[in-house]
Structure 1
Amino acid sequence: MTMRTSRRSRWPAAGLEIVASCFIAGLPGLAKAGVPDPPPITEETTQQLFLAVSVNGVRKAGLHPFAQAADGLRADAVLLRQLGLRWPGSEQAEGEIALAGLPGLEVNYDSAGLRLSLVAPVDLLDRPVLRLSSGLASATPADPSTRVAGAVLNYDLYSESRAGGVSASAFGDLRFFGEGAAVWSQSAVAHAASRTGAPALVRLDTQWQVDDAESMTVLRLGDGLTGGQGWTRTKRIGGFHYGRDFGLQPYRTTTPLAAFVGEAVLPSTLELYVNGLRQSTQQVQPGRFQLDAVPPGTGAAVANLLITDINGQQRNVHFDLYGAPTLLQAGLSDWSVDVGFLRKDYGLRSFAYDHRPLASGSYRWGWSNTLTLESHAEATTDLFEAGVGSVWKLGDRAGVLTTSLAASRGDGTSGNQRAVGYQWAGIDFGFAVNSARSSAGYRDAASRLEPALSRGSDSAFVNFGTPVGQWSLGVVRQLLAQSKPAHYLNLGWAADLGRGATLSLNVQRVNDEKKSYSTSLTFSMPLDSRVMTSASVQQRRGSTQLSASASQSPRDETGWSWWAQTATTNGRDPSAQFQVGRLTEAGQWWVGTTANGGSAGTSVYASRNGALAWLAGDLHALRHVEDAIAVVTTDGVPDVPVRLENRLLGRTDARGQIFVPQLNAYQRNQISMDTLDLPMDIVADKVQADVVPERRRASRVRLPLRRIVPVHVSLRNQQGQPLDPGGVVELRMGDSKTGASTRVGYDGLVYLEDPPPGAALFVRGEAGRCTARLPDPLPPAGGEPTPLECKP
């Protein structure tokens, strides 16, 4: 223990504490000749003190009793525990404890100011580990009371005319939703051509789905995809699906968090940096802490935790991180169950299903923060397949190892499939290797309707950065059941030339054949924020193609776009294509033409996409509504600008409504209105709202506006001079006060909302009191302020 005593006078700050200490301690009263000295401290005597105490820079409320003895300051064990100290045997300790006997405790006693500063090592602080978080947003549940019943039809239309005839195609996705929990949807595709006769309409998917965001589960009846693992094939079925969906809680992090553990002796500021970028700033009190943070997306990263205490002293703690999105947090599970019938000829026939029922189940579980276990099983008539797998993070930053093993029996045969893979990614370097093999008798349920599984594959990928650009190399070897192995090689390079310009090279080769390779070199450069140009040369199978293109993208909300390209092959067969389009609040359309020097000739085409929404008793034409939509109402006030995340979307219609089709489900979407252009007699109680919509549904958002009677008056004294600013103005009818008080502005101006006609204005200012009376009827809104005489 270190003890320091200071006798500097601090009367202005501690006078009351000194007087209180003298009184409570029973020191001799003040004599006429002055204050006598206290008796000397001996081994048999102690002096009672009441001190202001701080522990590790944190001030404790009130005054606390201590005893000054020959061996230094003493305190009752109960008091020391209340101050947040612990030491060996502190739970059973009783009576007075000498501060000098606590190991590592630094005691700073200011006898003049009666202040005691204790600085204890972290081991002496009786505080739990402080849990902090970085990058973890809190979720806000969706409010079912804001649901709006209605329907949405997304559509895509395309038509083309060429020498051979005219063709057209259409895609539609219709969904209905009520005030209940379910959403019903139906999608279909249609196509027709002048040469093929009658048009064709094909049903795609019919679904009835209920999402439960609290439990993160989805119940679906109808068509859809089964669940699965990375080493299985998903199947398209018609039937029943029930399973986990983490997308229902998008703010929840499913991968293991990076934990930064440290300690602070004094109140400190924590700054977390990952790869040199600051992620968060936190304030901590003395003691141990743990900072949980979202790890980087994929691969290795370097984290630094900068700890700065109240004295300005800094410590930098280094951590190694490795992000593995395929891992689950310890104890977290992901699962799905599917029962139904396999779809056949999807996109070609509407109601083609296999007659044999299928049952499938998948399960993933976070065994620990470094190991996730996987399993899958499926069964159909005379066929059963099951397997297990794992995802294992090796150490802090040694990469991720994946394994799987599956076996099947049925159709008179049996077999197995095994796979292993490893990947490592860093800031400027990464690679991955994978290998899979399956025996001749291995089957899954899809094998009866789809091409047979390959007998195996091997792949290796590497990417790295250099001062001259980013490089990538990939090699794939695939073992086919009915032919010799296929080999694929891909080499890529890309360099940033500055000002947005890039140069890229790509080389591909297939099966080691002399003429089975292609090489392309592409240069692209933006001319401004919307116009992009590019030129490329491609060589493949002995021919060389040159091409150049330019395009302009639309603005964020609405605007024109265009795209033009010209190309030639071996100096012959020139071709050109041009299209122009426009993005509007009701969707997007394009028209274009292509001209080919060969036999293809010239064609003209047009396309259109958008949505029709029936909501709140009104039909609106919108852009595609892929997810959630909001019906924003301003209580009947038209022509009000509405923004989504500060982006202008449009203005309310004649009914005071606007549809916002670009919301993210189960996330906070900030919708606001611009009130600067509103008339003077319309005010907003709030100008923005955070809406959390449900998936593929509509929500109502109310931004209330109300109409008022605004009155501007100019208060003047009996000499006709404006009253001084700052005076308090009270509005009264008879003896009762009406409304809140306001103040006189410059030039005697006073603004009132909805005042009663003929009400009295009582003004209290530095010049005294006076009274004015509003006219009856009130003056019309707008125009010059009405002058009123304020009489004493």
Structure 2
Amino acid sequence: MTKSLFQELAYEAKVNEQADQETVVFLRTSSGYLLASEAFLQRSRMVLPPESDVIEYYGERFVPINQLPKVDVSINEKNSEIAITAPPDIFVPIEIEGRKLTKSVAVKENGAFFNYDLFAQKFDSASQYDGRFELGIFNHYGVGQMNILARDFSNQKELIRLETNWTVDRPDEMASWRLGDGINSGGSIGRPIRFGGIQYSTNFATQPDFVAFPQYSLRGSAALPSTVDLYINNVRSFSQEVAPGPFTINNLPVLTGSGEARLVVRDMFGREQLISQPYYASRTLLKKGLSDYSYEGGFERFNYGFVSDDYRDIFASGTHRYGVSEKLTVEGHAEVKAKQQTGSISNVLLLPKLGVLDGTLAFSNSSGNERGGGHLQSVGFERQSAGWSYGLRTQIASQDFRQLGLPEGISAPARLSTVFLAWHQANFGSVSMNYIDQKNRELENARLLSINYSRTIFGDWFLNVNAFKNLESQEGYTVGFNIIKALDNRTSGSMFNTYSRQFQENSLQVQRALPAGNGVGYRALVSDGTYPRQEAGVSVQNDIGTYSVDASHRNDMDAYRMTASGGVAYAGGHAVLTRRIGNGFAMVDVGGYPNVKVFAENQLIGMTDKNGMQIIPNLRAYQRNRITIDPTDIPFEVQVDAVVMEAVPYYRSASYLRFPIRKEKSATLHIRQRNGLPVPSGAVFKSAKDDATGFPVADLGFLFLKYLDKKNHFIGKWQDNVCEFDLDYPETQDPIPYLGEVFCK
């Protein structure tokens, strides 16, 4: 199109008070219509109507502004400015994440660990000695564990294997394989059993930031550049600036139960709009399309903790939950044994603004003991909120119903009903009531009622009152009254009072917890009543273990107890004594420097040993753990390139953290010219390997050099002169040796 049909205009442009970063070229027709470039409109996030006329002008596409709906234009020719005002719905919607998800990538290491827990007790004429030992091996193929219990009670010695298994976690799939000893999933009818065999299941813990239950979104719009503040139950949890246009905040960081999400949109002139939305979130629901499953098979294990290898009755079981929608989750569960089969279907339904309704229907078939077919049904409802919370559930089962985990000769309860009711108010505190009614066939019936009240009093005192009654018994009730006072962040004092028909106790206790690192804790208790007693104990924790000694006196009988726990960790070619290893650990290497303080999440863990090593024994697996060292504990001639690192260990595995520390070789000397005179002050010398750093000469040719290697070559310049010299760094313990006089070559 010919250039004479249009007039080119250059303006500083604003769209809904948001300035463009470039000077924008517009076109004006002979009849006065204004055209904007498609590139400018796209930068401004404006959506073009499909029927818009597009004009090609020297390779660039332009659109008449008057074809954009409800758009106003104001031009200041004097200042070459144009202001465009458009409704929010003309802009491209913005997607904002309310919950910042961070995927931490765990690094696989090779290594091993050994844990021990020792227990010794002497009371009256009897004594008991126990030891629990755990061996773990981890590599790129997973982690293997074996636990053994050694017991000596009144000269009766036992050695019992507890668990042996190999686990392979797959964080990308949020799933795990396990071979060996494990625990199956009982599903909604729930009687998990120990078994030996193989298991494949989801494992959401491998991605800790992942939220499995349905999340909520809030939609709003801003006419001008604005700030949005998100409040969950009146607590601000999110704030962000937004450009003009519609926006959606996804994955609101809501708490479970009933609540309200409120959005305050404040524009650049201070005007506010309020958007609120009630919600109900429950962990019993799954996101739409998400599965949660567990499949296992092998042999049931009996007498765990008493016998090492009592495996019987081959079985297979599977549980699969699926989020049909944001409001409905269904479950299927099956169990198969040679003479017993059980299956169930369940669902969890969200009733918006009310709560969660669930139901289960199960059937079983047994060919042994003439039981035949049986059935089980359950239904329940639950509501959680900041104020009132309540729920009830009832389950009925026929006498012939069988399932894994049900002892032989014992039937499932004919009826099991539970009710809970709770209320919380900031000034009043929290009160709750729980009721259980269980009608059995072979065992005694049970009807249990408990009531609990708690609140903070006097600013930093905690009060708790609880009462318990077995309604099937004539023995009365039990009432407890507790007051706890925090004296500092580790020390507390408490008073406990318990009353019943047969028993009464009044106790006072002071205790100080162990710190995260090295330190001492203690506990002292005195009580009177039906069975007066006195107890005292001291705990000590250092880099290689935790130890305690306790003594008690009750009913003219003295008892003494001692414990010790610790371990050995091996990773990165180093074996280090340590406290007991938890779900994950880090081996910190600071390049051989001892007595360097090491922190985990700003808590002092300990100091490096003589080899510059320190174990952090309890880290969160698959999560970022912030590890810090104190650079002031490292000699000043040492270059520390980083004092903070992140450890992300696999489950029961290590992160090996080698802090980037290198000894900075420095030296001083006097540099002289070939004629013997000092190189003048102000001359600058640079290493032939690194010409970025210069070292100036001081008076009388004095020169301070850093970053030296064993062999070095330096080049110095001043005015029209050049000086070069070679320098060999000597073996010395002096951090900054004086190397004498050196002459230019």
Q: TM-score normalized by structure 2?
A: 0.88
Distance 1:298 1:112, change over 3 A: same
Distance 2:406 2:689 in 1: 84
Distance 1:62 1:288 in 2: 26
Report the equivalent of 1:111: 77
Report the equivalent of 2:190: 232
Single out whichever of 649-658 and 380-389 deviates more from structure 2: 649-658
Report the equivalent of 1:390: 347
How far has the Cα of 1:509 moved from its partner? Answer: 0.8
Distance 1:749 1:457, change over 3 A: farther
How far has the Cα of 1:589 moved from its partner? Answer: 1.3
Report the equivalent of 2:297: 339
- The 8 Å contact of residues 141 and 666 in structure 1, kept in 2 or not, is answered as yes
Aligned residue type for 1:377: A
Distance 1:660 1:83, change over 3 A: closer
Superposed CA deviations along residues 24-54 of structure 1, whole A, max 9, x for unmatched, are: 988xxxxxxxxxxxxxxxxxx9755344433
Matches within 5 A, 1:162-177: 162-177=123-138
Distance 1:535 1:370, change over 3 A: same
Report the equivalent of 1:35: none
How far has the Cα of 1:540 moved from its partner? Answer: 0.9
- The 8 Å contact of residues 270 and 308 in structure 1, kept in 2 or not, is answered as yes
Aligned pairs, number = 723
Report the equivalent of 2:675: none
Distance 2:584 2:103 in 1: 17
Are 1:223 and 2:181 matched, yes or no?
Answer: yes
Superposed CA deviations along residues 740-790 of structure 1, whole A, max 9, x for unmatched, are: 235879999977332877845557xxxx9999999978899668999999x
- The 8 Å contact of residues 53 and 64 in structure 1, kept in 2 or not, is answered as no
Report the equivalent of 1:754: 708
Matches within 5 A, 1:470-619: 470-482=430-442, 485-511=445-471, 513-570=473-530, 573-597=531-555, 601-619=557-575
Single out whichever of 652-661 and 555-564 deviates more from structure 2: 652-661
- The 8 Å contact of residues 48 and 68 in structure 1, kept in 2 or not, is answered as no
Distance 2:38 2:51 in 1: 7
Distance 1:349 1:65, change over 3 A: same
Superposed CA deviations along residues 347-391 of structure 1, whole A, max 9, x for unmatched, are: 11111122x311101001111122111110111112111111112
Distance 1:512 1:452 in 2: 20
Aligned residue type for 2:316: A
User: SS of the counterpart of 1:199?
Assistant: strand
Matches within 5 A, 1:452-463: 452-463=411-422
Report the equivalent of 1:41: none
Match of 1:182 among 118, 142, 147: 142
**Which runs of 5 or more structure 2 residues have no equivalent in the other structure?**
57-61, 672-677
**Which runs of 5 or more structure 1 residues have no equivalent in the other structure?**
1-23, 27-44
Superposed CA deviations along residues 86-137 of structure 1, whole A, max 9, x for unmatched, are: 4654367668865445432121112223332212112323x2x322212333
How far has the Cα of 1:323 moved from its partner? Answer: 2.3
Distance 1:531 1:80, change over 3 A: closer
How far has the Cα of 1:72 moved from its partner? Answer: 4.9
How far has the Cα of 1:409 moved from its partner? Answer: 1.5
Report the equivalent of 2:316: 359
Distance 1:77 1:275, change over 3 A: closer
How far has the Cα of 1:688 moved from its partner? Answer: 2.4
- The 8 Å contact of residues 595 and 633 in structure 2, kept in 1 or not, is answered as no
Report the equivalent of 1:469: 429
Are 1:299 and 2:257 matched, yes or no?
Answer: yes
Identity of aligned residues (%): 24
Aligned residue type for 1:148: N
Match of 2:588 among 618, 632, 651: 632
- The 8 Å contact of residues 358 and 379 in structure 1, kept in 2 or not, is answered as yes
Aligned residue type for 1:390: N
Aligned residue type for 2:457: L
Distance 1:501 1:249 in 2: 38
Match of 1:683 among 639, 645, 648: 639
How far has the Cα of 1:676 moved from its partner? Answer: 1.6
Distance 1:275 1:267 in 2: 26
Matches within 5 A, 1:638-677: 638-677=594-633
Distance 2:410 2:252 in 1: 41
- The 8 Å contact of residues 25 and 37 in structure 2, kept in 1 or not, is answered as no
Are 1:134 and 2:98 matched, yes or no?
Answer: yes
Distance 1:74 1:349, change over 3 A: closer
Match of 1:368 among 308, 325, 340: 325
Report the equivalent of 1:290: 248
Superposed CA deviations along residues 204-248 of structure 1, whole A, max 9, x for unmatched, are: 111122111111221111111012323321111111111111111
Report the equivalent of 2:120: 159
- The 8 Å contact of residues 243 and 335 in structure 1, kept in 2 or not, is answered as yes
Are 1:437 and 2:437 matched, yes or no?
Answer: no
Aligned residue type for 1:159: A
Match of 1:143 among 100, 107, 115: 107
Are 1:277 and 2:229 matched, yes or no?
Answer: no
How far has the Cα of 1:346 moved from its partner? Answer: 1.5
- The 8 Å contact of residues 731 and 738 in structure 1, kept in 2 or not, is answered as no
Distance 2:455 2:698 in 1: 62
Aligned residue type for 1:156: D
- The alignment's C-alpha RMSD in Å is 3.5
Distance 2:686 2:51 in 1: 67
Match of 2:200 among 242, 248, 268: 242
Distance 1:782 1:308, change over 3 A: same
Match of 1:64 among 4, 25, 33: 25
Superposed CA deviations along residues 708-766 of structure 1, whole A, max 9, x for unmatched, are: 22247999xxxx9x98xxx8x74246xx6843235879999977332877845557xxx
User: SS of the counterpart of 2:89?
Assistant: helix
